[in-house]
Amino acid sequence: MRFGSKAISHGAAPVWLGGLVLPLAMASGPVGGKPYDAAAEAQTPRAAPSSRPESQKSEHDRSDVFRASESPPSSNALESQPDQGKALGFDFYRDPLNAKKPMQTFEEIMKEDKAAKPKIMEDQRKLLESRYDLTPRFHPEAKMSRGKPIPVGPTARLRDGVTWDSLAAMTPEEIREKGLFPYPALPHPKQATGGQVFPKMQIEMFPRLERFDVEFDLPEAFLPEFPPAMFLQNRPELGDVSRGEVVSINNYYRLFKDILTPVQLDGLRLLLTPFPQEEFNPTDDRKSEQPSLGVTCLDCHVNGHTTGQFHLNPDNRPQERRLRLDTVSLRGVFNQQLHGSKRSLRSVEDFTEFEFRTAYFNGDPIHAMKKGFTQFDRVQVSHMAQMQNMFDFPPAPKLDVATARLDPTKATDAERRGEQVFFGKGRCAECHRPPVYLDDRMHDLRLERFVNEPPTGPIKTFTLRGIKDSPPYMHDGRCLTLEDTVEFFNLVLGLKLNAQEKSDLAAFMRAL
């Protein structure tokens, strides 16, 4: 079709815009069979013609005269001064913050990290296999919102001769003394460095998210769907609006221009714009092989949900004391009053602003100054918050509209029995209250009673609405299935649930 001087083709032909010709795939879709990534495109150099004299590299261009070691001193008198006047220690802007020795180059760091990576991941694999049976088993009927099978458990390995019933009969002191607690803290594979780690399935679509020093550790079977479904509270009749796509800077306008308001669209644009982050940036401190524009909010909260990415919480020090944190879903955030696992932030706006000051740079504004911090105007923050407030829970057709309890005419016998456990013997509703199934408070489970680990302190209650879409569970993903989560709380709260009650409780939570 033609509009004035602009021609647009909807087939395989190029797009012609006022004399500029682009392949249609570059404008809206995959290139060479791979999904188009505008953020990667913006930072990928292209080969330029080299026939012009000024584009040829000279011997001077290729020489070492630009190295700091070749820089002549401002005075010959410096030779007699301490260290010949050279700054041999830490130079904040030039020296990588995580270097093992002063003035270590990026190439040296990357070489060491790549060489160490196989052993790091092999050690993590052995740790996980010693704790869990990682062979996935799936529920015969229940599925996530877009159809991915739901893994079932428990997956935790118990010591020979120990059963779940015998373990539940022990006191916390006995469990700790004998080292039998099946759900100790799940560590980051590379705690000393930490940082955001993305699952392989996401990296395959967006290679810019790959790190050269560490990789994701949990099997894909125990992760949420990718892409996850996306529900909007302003257009509930549309159901899943993702249309099977990962919402990105490439497609958000096409997908939502007729669904969202201009303010919400602007907020979505900002949530999909990459900004420098601790491991993904242009400096020598990065952990991406190529310089990076950074990551986006919705790289982690994919489609307003999550795919189980993890990092270290920014709220603890020293480094070895920090907790592994799974990325939390943004579904239903409009109905929540407490944000951040440890920080207890009271508004989505504060959460949004603090993410750039804390999680993006591990809670260190000095790092941010070097790597490229972003200071948002409060108007932009409000636009981002308004978009986040659009993300809704998935439909729960078995819940009564008025009470958010089970409609007995739609629920199975197991789900109805599980609801009784949830609101009774299981004590779940003490913290997970309908209709959103949380209490907007922070609680300390005092797990140090059961395992020889330091206390974690209070962590906020997370919503159980749509919980079947969000494995693994707990703040660090230590419970791979809902059945593991039930076993965890059966021990920690001393509930003494029998096998039937535990199975029914998991069935009820899948209905939420």
Report pLDDT digits (tens) over 158-193.
999 999 999 999 999 999 999 999 999 999 999 989
Report pLDDT digits (tens) over 383-423.
999 999 999 999 999 999 999 999 999 999 999 999 999 99
What is the per-residue pLDDT for 91?
Answer: 64
Given a cut of 90, whether residue 13 has pLDDT beyond it is no
First to last CA, the chain: 48
**Looking at residues 341-366, what average pLDDT do you find?**
85
**Looking at residues 234-244, what average pLDDT do you find?**
96
CA distances 126 to 119, 132, 160, 205, 491, Å, are 10, 10, 18, 28, 25
H helix runs in 105-156, sequence order: 106-131
CA angle (285, 287, 290) in 5-degree steps: 95
- The CB-side HSE value for 471 (13 A sphere, CA atoms) comes to 31
Give CA–CA dist 328/202, Å, rounded: 16
pLDDT band at 373 (very low <50, low <70, confident <90, very high): confident
Give CA–CA dist 301/394, Å, rounded: 15
The residue count for the chain? 512
Considering the entire predicted model, what is its pTM? Answer: 0.88
Helix (H), strand (E), coil (C) string for 16-44: EECCEEECHHHHHCCECCECCCHHHHHCC
pLDDT band at 23 (very low <50, low <70, confident <90, very high): very low
Q: Is 32 left (phi over 0), alpha (psi -120 to 50) or beta?
A: left
The pair of three-digit structure tokens given for residue 173, joined into one six-digit string:
């002191």
**What is the rounded (10 degree) CA torsion for 499, 505, 510, 512?**
180
- Contacts of 197-201 spanning 24+ positions with Cβ under 8 A: 197/309, 197/310, 197/311, 198/299, 198/307, 198/309, 199/223, 199/226, 199/307, 199/308, 199/309, 201/226, 201/307
CA distances 186 to 124, 208, 327, Å, are 10, 26, 14
Per the CB < 8 A criterion, the answer to whether 251 and 28 are in contact is yes
Give CA–CA dist 251/243, Å, rounded: 11
Give CA–CA dist 260/315, Å, rounded: 34
Given a cut of 90, whether residue 104 has pLDDT beyond it is no
Give CA–CA dist 66/228, Å, rounded: 49
Given a cut of 50, whether residue 312 has pLDDT beyond it is yes
How much is the mean pLDDT over the chain?
Answer: 89
Name the DSSP letter for residue 136.
-
Closest to 109 in 3D by CA, of 43, 51, 193: 193
